[in-house]
């Protein structure tokens, strides 16, 4: 600092960097800066031109977001990963930046997350996007859809939302690759603690980081994990469209991610206990949970997930009406009636009025999302207390 600098300059320029000294922080630093200074204009030019790694402006990437992306790529086994402000921002960037670009075509799972289904229908309606919906458990139907026209991306969920159908990633990867298509898997409901789709042949893995990977209900984020080419396109989308993940959110997700395996171990164990109890309850017509032998893809889930079946249980009230669902929700105390999942605490969502509200009621009914369907995200509370709470709420139905 030059001696000639006056107080007004010194107070602005003081403490622009951490003091040097031995010792590596065990927690990655939160680099909150929007702008980055450089030793020369040539260095800045090289970074802007992607000729060397570095940082120039928050929307172009920050060290904290890059640390999260590197960690997620390592966990998922992909070349790179690019983070976004939400799961919806991530999946929109992938669909528009890779799948549908230059007249591409998507074959998508018909019972995807309701907002994703609504997004694809809007892209089809407003931009004449070539999107076809298919039952991913019917491999003949998938093959026929892929064969009907050149397809760039087959998009599925590892565990569907909210019906908890399990997709055979290896079989679908083979179907897609044989026809020159890419398999993209939204693995939000499973998380890397249950399955890593890349190990079964998927090309792209997408997560809502808001859910299990963060796991604390206090931040939103999304990620697209894939090849270096996919990552380059995703970075460009984040820069131009502005859906980048800010550093504080990235730092919180890194913090939450460290306990992912521990949290999921408890949540999966408790979810299985809850599912078994609900399956025997007289007020419940049916239960959707891959860990139950009654689930249509139980054998596949056992093989693909290695003994864990996720922390979400969906069930249909025997009184399959909106009124019964409302009575159940209003009777909850310990379990939150909330529109998310994957948190430390348990939450129930009513798809008909929330996640799948935008879907035509007739299409919801065709897919099996009835007025009595409820989705329970099991937290880390004592499962006996959760069962007591569920019994109390079911008694009001």
Helix (H, G, I), strand (E, B) or coil at 112: coil
Q: For the sheet containing 284-288, what is the strand order? A: 284-288, 312-317, 373-377, 347-349, 336-337
Q: What are all long-range contacts of 336-340, with beta carbons under 8 Å and residues at least 24 apart?
A: 340/210, 340/211, 340/217, 340/377
Q: Which residues are catalytic?
A: 59, 113, 186, 211
C-alpha distances in angstroms, 257 versus 66, 164, 396? 15, 23, 38
Tell which residue, 289, 273, 266, 291, has the closest CA to residue 342. Answer: 266
Helix (H, G, I), strand (E, B) or coil at 176: helix
Whether 375 and 367 have beta carbons less than 8 Å apart is answered as no
C-beta neighbour count of 145 within 10 angstroms: 22
**DSSP designation for 229:** H
**DSSP designation for 97:** I
The C-alpha atoms of residue 96 and residue 86 are separated, in whole angstroms, by: 16
Q: In terms of DSSP H, where are the helices of the chain?
A: 7-13, 41-48, 63-76, 87-94, 114-127, 139-147, 169-178, 228-241, 247-257, 260-279, 298-305, 322-330, 361-367, 383-394
The C-alpha atoms of residue 82 and residue 97 are separated, in whole angstroms, by: 13
């Amino acid at each position: 600092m030059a001696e000639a600098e006056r107080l007004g300059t010194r107070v602005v320029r003081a403490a622009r960097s951490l003091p040097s000294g031995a010792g590596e922080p065990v927690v990655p630093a939160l680099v909150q800066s929007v702008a980055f200074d450089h030793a020369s204009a040539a260095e800045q030019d090289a970074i802007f031109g992607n000729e060397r790694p570095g940082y120039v402006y928050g929307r172009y990437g920050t060290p904290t977001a890059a640390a999260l992306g590197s960690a997620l790529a390592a966990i998922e086994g992909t070349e790179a990963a690019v983070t976004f402000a939400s799961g919806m921002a991530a999946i929109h960037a992938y669909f528009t930046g890779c799948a549908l670009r230059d007249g591409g075509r998507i074959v998508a799972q018909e019972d995807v997350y309701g907002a994703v289904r609504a997004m694809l229908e809007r892209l089809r309606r407003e931009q004449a996007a070539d999107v076809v919906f298919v039952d991913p458990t019917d491999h003949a139907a998938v093959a026929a859809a892929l064969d009907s026209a050149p397809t760039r991306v087959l998009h599925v969920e590892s565990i569907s939302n909210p019906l908890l159908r399990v997709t055979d990633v290896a079989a679908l990867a083979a179907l897609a690759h044989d026809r020159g298509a890419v398999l993209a898997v939204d693995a939000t409901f499973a998380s890397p603690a249950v399955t890593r789709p890349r190990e079964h042949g998927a090309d792209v893995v997408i997560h809502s980081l808001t859910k299990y990977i963060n796991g604390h209900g206090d931040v939103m984020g999304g990620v697209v994990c894939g090849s270096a080419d996919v990552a380059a396109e995703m970075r460009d989308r984040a820069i131009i469209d502005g859906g980048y993940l800010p550093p504080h959110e990235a730092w919180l997700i890194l913090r939450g991610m460290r306990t992912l395996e521990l949290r999921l171990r408890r949540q999966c164990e408790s979810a299985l206990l809850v599912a078994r109890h609900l399956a025997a309850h007289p007020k419940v017509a049916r239960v959707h949970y891959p860990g139950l032998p009654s689930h249509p893809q139980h054998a596949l889930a056992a093989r693909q997930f290695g003994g864990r079946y996720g922390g979400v249980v969906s069930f249909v009230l025997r009184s399959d009406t909106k009124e019964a669902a409302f009575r159940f929700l209003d009777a909850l105390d310990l379990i939150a009636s909330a529109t998310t999942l994957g948190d430390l605490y348990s939450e129930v969502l009513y798809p008909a009025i929330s996640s799948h509200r935008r879907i035509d009621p007739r299409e919801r009914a065709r897919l099996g999302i009835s007025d009595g369907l409820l989705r329970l995200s099991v937290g880390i509370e004592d499962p006996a207390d959760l069962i007591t709470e569920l019994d109390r709420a079911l008694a009001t139905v």
